[in-house]
Amino acid sequence: MQLIIIKHRLGEYKPYSMEPLKINGTTDTPKVECNLDGTITLSGKSLTEDPLTFYKPILAWVMEVQAEIITVNFQLEYMNTSCSKEIYNLLMLAKENKSKKKLLVNWLCDSTDEDSIEIGKEFESMLEVPFNIQQY
């Protein structure tokens, strides 16, 4: 049911063609790199007031990518609650991608950032996907 809701929110949005997706980071949005080998990397801060608009092309991209292994790398210094919902949706769509055979999630966080460590563990439990939680 949740996957249907996510797809409905995306509407008819689809990438024009399956190409790598790169979005430069700002003070409020993460740097994003989505490569055709199935590697997705988000780094920086995710504080945008309109997370659906920011994450929409990323969510659409992850639904369409054709890769046997999807690897999602997170190195987020901070994310607000509304952005965490879109990050969860991103992971849900990666998990449900029909072409993938394996999903790898690398969650990198500051060893003193207990909130980030806890969020990673919560996502891991909710999605029932093992996370590689690395502290630096």
- Predicted confidence at residue 74, as pLDDT, reads 97
Q: What's the confidence (pLDDT) of residue 21?
A: 96
Upper half-sphere CA count for residue 53 (Cβ side, 13 Å):
5
Low-confidence stretches of the chain (pLDDT < 70) are 1-17
- What is the total count of domains within the chain? 1
- Helix or strand or coil: residue 125? helix
Distance CA 101, CA 38 (A): 11
Confidence at residue 13, expressed as pLDDT on a 0 to 100 scale? 54
**Residue 81 identity (one-letter amino acid):** T
Letter for the amino acid at 84?
S
How confident is the model at residue 14, as a pLDDT? 55
pLDDT digits (tens, 9 = 90+) for 9-31: 556 555 546 899 999 999 999 99
Tell me, what's the pLDDT at 18?
A: 81
pLDDT at 57: 95
Please give the pLDDT value at position 33: 98
CA-closest candidate to residue 76, choices 39, 121, 117, 37: 117
pTM assigned to the model: 0.87
Domain span at 73: 2-135
